[in-house]
Chains A and B, each alone.
Chain A
Amino acid sequence: MVVADYKKYLAENVLNERSTVTYRSLGRGLKVHSTLAKQMLYDFHHTENAKKPRSVNATYILTGIQKAEESTTTNSTKPNSSSGNGDDIMPSSPYIPSSMANQEAAGDQVPISSVLLVREEDLEGAKSTFESISSIYVYSLQSTILQDLNVLTDVAREMLVNHAKEDPLEYGKQWGMIQNKNVKRRTGARPPPPPPAPSSTIPAKRPAQSDSQQSKTEVKEERSDSKPAQCQNTPSTKPAEKAAAPPKKEKGSLFSSFAKAKPKLKKESSSTPAVSGAESAEPSGAEDVVLGDASDDGEEQEELFPESKKPASTETRESRKEREDRLRKMMEDDDDEDEEMPDATEPEEPSAPIDQPPPKQAELKVEATVAGGRRRGRRQVMKKAVKKDSEGYLVTVEEPSWESFSEDEPAPPPPKRKPVVSAPKAKAGAKAGQGNIMSFFGKK
């Protein structure tokens, strides 16, 4: 039935809408195998031009072995023939690379095959450049001659946009894609919202959808079973992510993922086997849901701040709420947008000592004073010093010492920030020269 429809489909698209149809867009549109789509294109091209010459224009793909461009080198006609005479092994030479003289000839014997896109008008000319043609098929049909072949890429892009919802793992077989049984894909990855400009970008290939798909998928998908459960368990977050939410809202979802990443991390660090187990074993139960769902954004975020990860995972006393509050404050800070990156770096750097102060870092202090629009200060750093001890041995000791620094940056407006952050943080964070880059490097 689908096969019968193709004429209508092509007539509509090529003749009426005067758009370009490639075998892939046809294949996807009608959900047919690529070979069949090629045949459909050929048939349509043939019958329409028989009815009315030059009403449909085609481009072809030629594959095969092209003739050598210059007659200086004689390419082997058959790709397999070189397996015998391939590259000559270079005589062993202790090290005189100039013995590669005979390599040039060997290099040229590499079989070269070509895949060439050709317009209908040039088909014969192009064929004549081939020594042997292994296949030829219609790539696209359009109503007029294509001035610029690059138009075809727009068709492909449009096709990807239109069929973004079709999971290639599920439909690939239908399209004639080479199947791979070993594909490993993590589920629970949230597809990004479709970009607003469809002309230049391609949106999500796989919106979180289709509960039905998992049963069909032939390829083994990790934790695919958790998908429906995931949808049920987290109804609140789903809508926020699905739509291209306004910025405010996205921030909200960012929180929730941060907050959720917390328990997940705990689990991960305490029981790593569980994670790997979940990959291989049949996944089920709530644990997978948590892992699968909270994972992606949370993970990615977490990974972006590797410094904050360790304390967060080891330190479990802090309640989630506290954490969320702090994050919210951070976000609000950001919203002010009068001040800069330091805010963003703050959580990585100075918050680490709060979560679980590593003894070494806690001792290091930074003092900054503001004078005449310049900020100067001194900070404590650990310095290595080599000393001779009482017995005459040289020993290297690390000892704290003070070091002054100054910054050309204007002073931050301190009163504004101070009330926002919680007490211990204010000390380490706001005073820490706003996490300026020098203090980052200064630490050892």
Chain B
Amino acid sequence: MGIDSPEQEFLRAPSTQQYEPVLRNPSVYNPLDTFRLPPGQDRQYQQQYGDMYFLRLAKLKPAVEAVAVEAWEGFSIAGEHARRVERVLDVRQGELCWVAGTIYMEMPLKPNILRDLTEDNFTLAPPPRKTYQDPSHPELTEIMLEDESGRLRLVGSKLGSIQLATGAIIAVLGTENANGDFEAIDIKVPDLARQPLRWERDNPQASKSSKKGKIAFVSGLGITGTSSDNLTLELLADYLLGYSESSTSRNEDGSVPDANTITRLIIAGNSLGASIIGEAPSVEGTTGKKIAQQKKYGYDASAYNASPITQLDSFLAELLPSLPITIMPGETDPANFALPQQPIHRAMFPRSRAYCAPPPSGEEKAEPGWFDSVTNPWEGDVEGWRFWGSSGQNVDDVLRYLNFADEDGNIDPNCDAEERLRIMEAMLRWRCGVPTAPDTIWSYPFQTNDPFVMLACPHLFFTGNQPQFKTAVIEGDNPLKLGEDTEMGGTDEDTPVPTVRLLSIPKFRETGELVLVDTETLEVELVKFGAFAGKEDKQ
């Protein structure tokens, strides 16, 4: 077409050129229902949470013990061989041994229901804290190893060098000292679970139909319904729909990645802003009385502001004709609060719901919808890769267990972002996506299985609503010694070393950043949206 400079394409008189429609590649999508709770009356809240720890330990103990056997068998200090001990209570004083169990951390600032009850302070949810550690009294933090028999306090310099959080399953090598504490010499974790092969769950045709493309991630849209927060959102929509790119300067160096290569958008939580949810309707004076008298249930325009959700709905409805979307609820979204958060109900999306899958009918499993409202955390296969992601609560909470703040409680943002990736790595190696549930994250009391245990290691592990974008690749152990995986469905002999892409997705509202992941290489790119702060703003 003879247009060389990109500037000339748009900055010229209208042409009579015909524009060919740009086509988007199909998306191969196969979500898992790992975190769906039973509907209706089958959802019980009377169970004890203890079952979850029991299940988790039962599931992960063989794995961690296999790692430990590998490492410690024949290990001896001064002629004394390390002995394997089944239960923590069987540990004998002065004897070199190793034992597996669940970590429990006692921390001074951790919410404690018993303390709240004794202080008559049980009506309100505990305020969120930056950390459960008391920076001025680090010695108050106790780390314990527990199993169904009892608890063992862990001490030793080894503990200082690694991160632990309540709920992680580990094996510890050491001796019990005169105080009855267990002096830890070494610690082993279950390490990465078996990683499925690409396209493992999809039919063979799917892998052929898939072409090179990108998957877009965004989180923390933070729509509050006021006009001030929507400009970048508008630019985002324009970009995703392909309006903001030039039709001729494709695939040139230095250009924005083409929007038509994006095959799916994943929204990782907090699509609505925080402020609206927290606001309780102010009941006071005469109006309050009136409300109390009427006791009107359902829609009450005075107490409920629908505009954030309508805006989200129209944002989605604008994108959906061109782009399939997976949306996860987050902390501030209209879904249940306890993990796993269930999908935002499609009644919330009067316009977008036409793209949903038809409501489940009977036993048959419905095909995933074009617009898929999923759980948080969520697991599924996209373009053959296994994704495991959450809206960020899990990482935020584990962070509170770690000693990252200096004495005054200040946090270095760079250090913080790195710490968050380390937590994500640790979760994968613990094989537990939400270790601190149900201790400090609200959780559904699972009784027959703990879905937070990762049975399969994902290829891409993402966390939404993080303060900063950050990515890394981690690598598993040598797969040859993955003997512990036999209970997970057999090992593949020529399995490559599992590598996992970690992705911490920033809040869009604060950063304007959209994360693009290549479907072939899982390479990451970033597109930033914003308005230039010019003279007018500075005035």
Contact = CB atoms under 8 A, between A and B. Distances in A.
B191 A95 contact: yes
Nearest to B417: A107
B41 interface: yes
Given A118-B532, A177-B321, A206 B359 contact: no
B523 A206 contact: no
Contact of A89 (B12, B351, B418, B475): B475
B361 A206 contact: no
B238 to A, nearest CB: 7
B230 A153 contact: yes
A200 B234 contact: no
Nearest to B40: A306
Interface residues of A, number: 126
Interface string B4-19: 0011011111111101
Among B243, B421, B471, B478, residue most surrounded by chain A Cβ atoms (within 10 Å): B243
A180 B362 contact: no
A155 to B, nearest CB: 9
Among B45, B162, B256, B355, residue most surrounded by chain A Cβ atoms (within 10 Å): B256
Contact of A94 (B191, B310, B527): B191
Contacts of B363: 272
A145 B234 contact: no
A243 interface: no
A116 B358 contact: no
Contacts of A132: 253-254
Contact of A122 (B16, B320, B534): B534
Interface stretch (A77-85, A320-328, A385-393, A426-434): A77-85
Contact of A97 (B311, B356, B359, B422): B422
A102 to B, nearest CB: 9
Contacts of A146: 536
Contacts of B532: 62, 116-119, 122, 125-126, 129
Contact of A119 (B253, B497, B534): B534
A192 interface: yes
Contacts of B418: 100, 103-104
Main secondary structure of the interface of A (DSSP, over half): mixed
Contacts of A138: 10-11
B210 interface: no
B118 interface: no
Contact of B239 (A91, A115, A182): A115
B487 to A, nearest CB: 20
Interface stretch (A48-56, A297-305, A362-370): A297-305
Interface in A133-185: 133-138, 145-147, 149-154, 156-157, 160, 168-169, 172-173, 175-185
Contacts of A125: 532, 534
A42 B296 contact: no
Contact of B526 (A23, A112, A303, A307): A112
Interface stretch (A33-41, A230-238, A251-259, A395-403): A33-41
Contacts of A354: none
Interface residues of B, number: 125
Interface in B488-539: 497, 499, 521, 523-532, 534-536
A135 B255 contact: yes
Nearest to A23: B243
Interface string B84-107: 000000000000000000000000
Nearest to A7: B14
A179 B363 CA distance: 34
A92 B532 CA distance: 43
Contacts of B187: 95
A340 B293 CA distance: 10
Contacts of A117: 231, 235, 530-532
Given A184-B370, A206-B354, A304-B347, A269 B362 contact: yes
A195 B310 contact: yes
Interface string A282-321: 0000000000000100011011101100000000000000
A12 interface: no
Contact of A110 (B241, B243, B525): B525
A396 B298 CA distance: 42
B534 A126 contact: yes
Contact of B238 (A24, A80, A97, A186): A24
Contact of B310 (A106, A134, A179, A202): A202
Interface in A67-100: 77-80, 82-83, 86-92, 94-98, 100
B355 A39 contact: no
A100 B528 contact: no
B245 interface: yes
Contact of A303 (B22, B359, B414, B531): B359
B294 interface: yes
Contacts of B230: 150, 153, 156
Nearest to B239: A115
Interface string B344-370: 011100110111101101111001011
A268 B362 contact: yes
B231 A114 contact: no
B76 interface: no
Given A137-B11, A168-B321, A178-B260, A149 B531 contact: yes
Given A110-B526, A113-B525, A156 B470 contact: no
Contact of B534 (A77, A79, A121, A131): A121
28 contacts: A35-B246, A38-B10, A42-B12, A62-B532, A64-B255, A82-B523, A92-B475, A95-B429, A97-B425, A100-B418, A104-B414, A110-B524, A116-B529, A117-B530, A118-B531, A134-B254, A135-B7, A136-B7, A153-B227, A169-B321, A178-B24, A178-B260, A179-B322, A180-B324, A183-B321, A183-B355, A186-B355, A268-B361
6 smallest A-B Cβ distances: which pairs?
A122-B534, A137-B10, A134-B255, A178-B242, A132-B254, A306-B40
Interface of B: 6-7, 9-17, 19, 21-24, 26-27, 39-41, 45-46, 71, 161-163, 187-189, 191, 225, 227-228, 230-231, 233-235, 238-239, 241-247, 249, 252-257, 259-260, 294-298, 306-307, 310-311, 314, 317-318, 320-324, 345-347, 350-351, 353-356, 358-359, 361-364, 367, 369-370, 414, 418, 421-422, 425-426, 429, 469-478, 497, 499, 521, 523-532, 534-536
Interface of A: 3, 6, 23-24, 33-36, 38-40, 42-43, 61-66, 77-80, 82-83, 86-92, 94-98, 100, 103-104, 106-107, 110-119, 121-122, 125-126, 129, 131-138, 145-147, 149-154, 156-157, 160, 168-169, 172-173, 175-187, 189, 191-192, 195, 200-202, 204-206, 219, 268-269, 272, 275-276, 279, 295, 299-300, 302-304, 306-307, 337, 339-341, 344, 441, 443
